[in-house]
Chain A
Amino acid sequence: MTTVVAPSTAATTAGRGRLRSAGTAGAMVATVALLPFVAFLLVFAVYPLINLVRLAVSNTAVQNAVFVSEFTGLSNFGRVLTDPAFWHSVLITTAFVVLTVGLTLVAGLALALLVDRAVVLHHLARNVLIWPAVITPVVVSVLWLLVLSPTVGGLNKLLRTFGLPEQSWLNSGPGAFMSVVAVDVWHWTPIVFLFLYTALKGIPSELFEAARVDGATERQILFQVTIPLLGPALVVVGLLRLVMSIKAFDEMFLLTGGGPNGATNLISLDIRSQFFDRLDFGYAAAESIVVVVATLIIVGSAVLIRRRSVGGAS
C-alpha cells in the first residue's frame, strides 16, 4: 500500500514531465541505452557522408575492385553546375514537384471532405483509399505499366474498343511526363487525404453548426471556415509532400527510366545513372551534395515561412 502512495506524491512534486535521473550513474545508463542508435548513425550516416564528400572532391576510379581517389578540389562541382543536362534535370524535377505537390493537396483535400460527408461508402472508402500509399512502389509502376503500355495496356484496349485513336503514353516526352505525374498523384494522394481527414475530425462540429445557424452557405463554410481551420494541417502535409516529391525515384525508374530523351529524368534518376551507368563517381557525389544542400535550403525556408506565419505557435 505504501509503495503505491509514495510514488504518487513524488509525481505531484516532479510533475507529469520527464524525470531526469540525477547523478553520473543515471547519465551513464542513459548514454549506454542511446549507444546502439548513435553507433548506427556514426557507421551508416556520418561515415557515408564523409565518403560522399571525399568522392565529390576527388577523381575516383575502380582499380582491382578498390576505389582509388585522387584529390581534385572543387572541379566536380564545376562540372555539375555547368552541365546543361544537370539543369535540365533540375527543371524537370521542379516541374514534377510543383505539379505533384499541388495536385495531391487539392485531390487529398477533396477526398477528405467527400469521405467526411459520405455515409454509405464511409468505412469502405477509409480502407480502400489507403491502398495506393502502402502498396510496394515497384508494384505501383508495374500496375501502371500494365495500364499504360502501348502493347498490352488496358487504357489503349479501352480506347480501341470505343473506336478512339490509341496513344503512346510513355513514348512521347510530354505524355511520359504527364503519366509520371498522374501516377505519383494516384500513389500519394492517400497520404494527404489521411492527414487532412484526421485534422478535419479534430475540428469541433459546433463551429460548422454555428456557421450554418448564422446562415452561411456550404461554399462560404468551405472557404471561410473549413479550409482556414485546416490551414496548419495543409502546411504540414504540404511540407511532407515536398520532401517526398524531391525523393521520387522508384516508380519513374521502372515506368520511363528517365526517358524518352530525358523528359522524365528526375534528379534522383540522374544521380543513379551518373554513378552506376557512367561510373562518374565524382560527378554523382558532387551532384548529390548540391541536391542535399538545395533540399535543405528549400525545406528549411519553407519551415521558416511556416513558423513566421503561425507566429512560432507550433
Chain B
Amino acid sequence: MKSAEGGRRIFPGVEIVLGLVMIIVAVPLAWTALLAFMPNRAIVSPTWDFSFWLGNFKDLYGPGTAFAAQTVNSVLLTAGTVVLCLVIGSIAGYSLSRLGPPRWITLPALALAALLPLVPPMTLVPGLYLTMNALGLLGTVAGLTLLNTLFNLPFAVLLMKSYFDQISGDLREAALVDGASEAQAFMRVMVPLVRPGLAAVGIYTAIMAWNEFLMALTMTSGGTSSPLTVGIASLVQPFEVTWGQMAAAGVLVSIPILILAVIANRQIVSGLTAGAVKG
C-alpha cells in the first residue's frame, strides 16, 4: 500500500487547490473557536483585537442560565435515542433479514419507513404537535427522545437488516439445533456478530440526535426543557450582544462531534453513505 502510494506522482496544483478548499472549510470553525476565547469588547471592535479570556464559558454556565440543564437534556436525549434505535432496530432488522415476517405487516411498515425520510420533517410538525400534546409529551425530554427515534429508526432497521443479511444463516440454525430458543440464538450468537453494524448505527444516530434542532424547537418551550441546540438558538438575538457566548456554546457543542469524527471516521463514513442510500 505504502510503496504504491509513495510511487504516485505529486501534482502541485492539486495539492494547492485542495489546501485552499480545506482552508475554506476550516476558517469559519477556527474563527468561531477564536471568538469563543475573546471578550465581547474585542469581538465588536472594528479592528483586529485579540485578547484571551475564559469568561464566555463561565457566563454560559453561570447562575440563572439554562445551559447546564440543556446539556443534561442533550445527553439524555442522545443516549435514549441511541439505545432505542439499537434495540428496536436490531430486533426488527433481524426479523426482516432472518425470520421472514408475513407480508401484510412488512409491506406497509417498509413503505412508511421509506416514505418518512423523504418528506420534509417540518410538514409532520403540525400533526406531531397535536399527537405529543394528546400524549402529554410536549416539552419533555422523553417526547423528544421518541421523536428522534422515529426519524432515525427507518435507517437503523434497514442498516441492521443489511448487516444481518451478511451473516450466514447456518449459525442461527446451529444454535437452534443445539436447543437454543430464537431469543437466545439472537442474543448470544447473532448480535455479537453484527457489532460493526451496531457501532455504525449507534454513532450515526448519536450524531443525528445530538444535532437535532427542528423537533426540539417546535416541541419544547425553550429554557430548561430544551436541549443544547435550542439553547444556542436562543443566544442568537438581534438586540443582545452575546457573540462570545454564542461562539463558546458552538465550540462546546461541536467538540464531542469533532472528536467522534476523528476517532470513528470509518463508522461515520459508512453511516453517512449507507443512510443516504437507504434514504
Contacts and interface: CB of A to CB of B under 8 A. Distances in A.
A47 B173 CA distance: 39
Q: Is the interface of A mostly helix, strand, loop or mixed?
A: helix
A114 B153 contact: no
Nearest to A107: B21
A117 to B, nearest CB: 4
A96 interface: no
Interface string A259-278: 00000000110011001100
A106 interface: no
B187 interface: no
Given A34-B96, A143-B31, A292-B119, A119 B149 contact: no
Interface in A123-141: 124-139, 141
Nearest to B116: A45
Interface size class of A (residues with CB under 8 A): 35 or more
Contact of A44 (B18, B19, B125, B150): B150
B261 A142 contact: no
A174 interface: no
Contacts of B129: 275
Contacts of B62: none
A281 interface: yes
Given A7-B174, A19-B169, A157-B48, A247 B127 contact: no
Interface string A223-265: 0000000000000110010010011011001100000000000
A254 B27 CA distance: 20
B102 A8 contact: no
Given A146-B32, A243-B117, A18 B98 contact: yes
Nearest to A283: B126
A109 interface: no
A50 interface: yes
A72 interface: no
A34 B178 contact: no
Interface in A9-43: 10-11, 14, 16, 18-21, 26-27, 29-31, 33-34, 36-38, 40-41, 43
A195 B274 CA distance: 10
Contacts of A151: 44
A309 interface: no
Contact of B43 (A54, A143, A152): A152
Nearest to B256: A136
A281 B173 CA distance: 54
A90 interface: no
Interface in B90-130: 91-92, 94-102, 105-106, 109, 112-113, 115-130
A114 B17 contact: yes
A284 interface: yes
A158 to B, nearest CB: 10
A254 B26 CA distance: 21
B159 interface: no
Interface of B: 5, 8-11, 14-15, 17-19, 21-22, 24-29, 31-32, 35, 43-44, 46-48, 87-89, 91-92, 94-102, 105-106, 109, 112-113, 115-131, 133, 146-147, 149-150, 153, 157, 165, 168-174, 177-178, 182, 207, 210-211, 213-214, 217-218, 229, 232-233, 236, 243, 246-247, 249-250, 253-254, 257-258, 260-262, 265, 268-269, 272-273, 276-277, 279
10 closest pairs, A vs B, by CB?
A: A52-B127, A30-B99, A48-B127, A33-B95, A30-B101, A288-B123, A37-B92, A268-B122, A20-B100, A7-B170
22 contacts: A14-B169, A36-B87, A37-B89, A47-B127, A51-B128, A117-B14, A125-B18, A127-B265, A129-B21, A134-B207, A134-B268, A136-B250, A138-B229, A146-B28, A152-B44, A237-B276, A246-B120, A249-B120, A276-B218, A288-B122, A288-B125, A296-B119
